[in-house]
Amino acid sequence: MKQNRRFIYLISPSNIIEQTFYKDLIEIFKSNKIAYFQLRLKNTNNKRIILIGKKIMRICKKFKVKFIINDNPKIAKLVSADGCHLGQKDTKILIARKILKKKIIGVTCHNSVNLVNQAINLGADYIAIGAFYKSDTKKTTYLAKINLIKNVKKITKLPIVAIGGIDSINFRKLLLHKANFLAISGYIWNNKKLSPNLAIKKLFI
């Protein structure tokens, strides 16, 4: 399964410690495995998100990684991000599109083909589906079976991002089932055995 491509959709930790984070991010980007980086901060005010976002945008630009802001298209526009990711309870796609114009808008569709169809019809640029495995990063409410990837591939050519509990043990299975990208967070940032830089090196294909 030798492939030379960027297949990781990296999601930030929910809380960023700036003294170490940017250095770790640069080392991870040097692996040349990251296609997208999503900033997803919780319990953080917009001013700090914007300040951090502008710093990350410069790093992403240097390494040619697409920079995505979670939930907030207005902040995505303010920091000149490449796009925004929306959950089912976040800003509606049509509102985000008015703000972001032709920039990237991705949508979480859980384990539902119906939600995938809705996102396609509303003009999403990529589809995130899962969770395929239980996650320590977010509460796992919607578990998906692996054949969901194949079923979604039948109805769209949009890129598919597999989400949920992905690590160095299970990631290859999702790629074999033709997921375009793998959303990974906890395995990198909350790994008790490996630093972020070493954790990313375990994800080789």
pLDDT digit string (tens) for 43-85? 999 999 999 999 999 999 999 999 999 999 999 999 999 999 9
What kind and span of H or E run contains 4?
Answer: none
Residue 2, pLDDT score: 47
When divided into structural domains, the chain yields a total of: 1
Residue 3, pLDDT score: 52
Q: Given the DSSP bridges, would you call strands 104-108 and 83-86 parallel, antiparallel or unpaired? A: parallel
Q: Which CATH number fits the domain that encloses residue 147?
A: 3.20.20.70
Compute the distance between CA of residue 205 and CA of residue 40 in angstroms, rounded to an integer: 27
| Angle subtended by helix axes 18-29 and 46-63, to nearest 10 | 30
> Does residue 1 form part of some domain?
no
Range of the domain at 24: 8-201
Residue, of 204 and 127, whose pLDDT is higher: 127
| Identity at 32, one-letter amino acid code | N
